[in-house]
Amino acid sequence: METISWHEFEKVELRAGTILEVLDFPEARKPAYKLKVDFGPLGTKWSSAQITKHYNKEELVGRQILGVVNFPEKQIGKFMSQFLVTGLADENGDIVLTAVERPVPNGSKLI
């Protein structure tokens, strides 16, 4: 594992956001959803997430997540991802979302 400096870590914009909308993403190579997330003063952003094993669309709406909002946009098929959804792989390699324990203002930065 490569170590990074505190200054390098501070450059990563890990922000809290609330999922507003979840759409199917049938064009994705692996099963995924499209997520529309409110990052408060940073606005709303879209991303895709391969989280269909553990979550259904209805339970995701209203949930706060952590996203990296300062990566360049990434083209995924015909879809443009505007941030990176964060999560951890379970024992089967399926993604479990990184969650916020208690509600915080949308756009709050991980410190």
pLDDT tens per residue across span 21-62: 999 999 999 999 999 999 999 999 999 999 999 999 999 999
Residue 1 lies in a domain: no
- Contacts of residue 35, defined as CB under 8 A and 6 or more positions apart, other chains included, come to 19, 21, 22, 46, 47, 48, 49, 60, 65, 85
Nearest residue to 97 (alpha-carbon basis) of 67, 62, 58: 67
Within a domain: 79:
yes
pLDDT digits (tens, 9 = 90+) for 57-100: 999 999 999 999 999 999 998 899 999 999 999 999 999 999 89
In a domain, 57, yes or no: yes
Q: Could you tell me if residue 109 is inside a domain? A: no
The overall longest dimension of the chain from CA atoms, in Å, is: 40
- The number of domains in the chain is 1
